[in-house]
């Protein structure tokens, strides 16, 4: 029922197959399916995580449906643009509210992510930890929506 449930379908297009099993979830890498545009009208809160994922897997993609991100806990478009730039990626605003994600071509040894007092900013940058060391400023911000986030993150086998 929640927009967040669409992440399974979106990640499938990005080459991450989700298989729900008793006691957990298994993620398997597969080929990236044809990517051109993601419409986030029904799930704008997922745009940050998808942008980070596209940036680190080298996928240039257009995003639409981001209008409401400017009026969330922070201006998430501005915040995302600032933090993506820290590892060489860009989210460029074009005409008709279409944004283009330009992926990173190189990766620093460490990236420090500012959260802007926004729980989604902290959680959205976790895919980046598969490529480099990530330091989240104000990690307690996740307590708003997912107090066990860091504990659950430690359980991942990466």
Which tokens hold the place of 7?
């992440």
Residue with tokens 């009208």: 41
Catalytic (active-site) positions: 45
Q: Within 10 A of 63 (CB to CB), how many other CB atoms are there?
A: 24
Q: 73 with 119: CB under 8 angstroms? A: yes
User: What is each CA distance from 143 to 4, 11, 76, 77, in whole angstroms?
Assistant: 17, 25, 18, 22
| DSSP structural state of residue 103 | P
């Amino acid at each position: 029922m929640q927009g967040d449930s669409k992440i399974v379908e979106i990640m499938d297009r990005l080459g991450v197959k989700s298989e729900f099993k008793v006691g957990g979830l298994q993620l398997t890498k597969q080929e990236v399916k044809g990517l051109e545009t993601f419409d986030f009208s029904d799930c704008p809160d997922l745009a940050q995580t998808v942008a980070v994922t596209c940036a680190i897997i080298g996928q240039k993609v257009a995003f639409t449906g981001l209008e409401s991100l400017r009026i969330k806990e922070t201006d998430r478009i501005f915040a995302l643009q600032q933090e993506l730039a820290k590892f060489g990626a860009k989210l460029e605003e074009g005409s008709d509210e279409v944004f283009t994600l330009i992926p990173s071509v190189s990766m620093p040894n460490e990236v420090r992510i500012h959260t802007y007092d926004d729980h989604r900013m902290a959680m959205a940058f976790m895919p980046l930890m598969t490529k480099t060391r990530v330091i989240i400023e104000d990690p307690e911000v996740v307590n708003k929506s997912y107090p066990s986030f860091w504990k659950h993150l430690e359980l991942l086998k990466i």
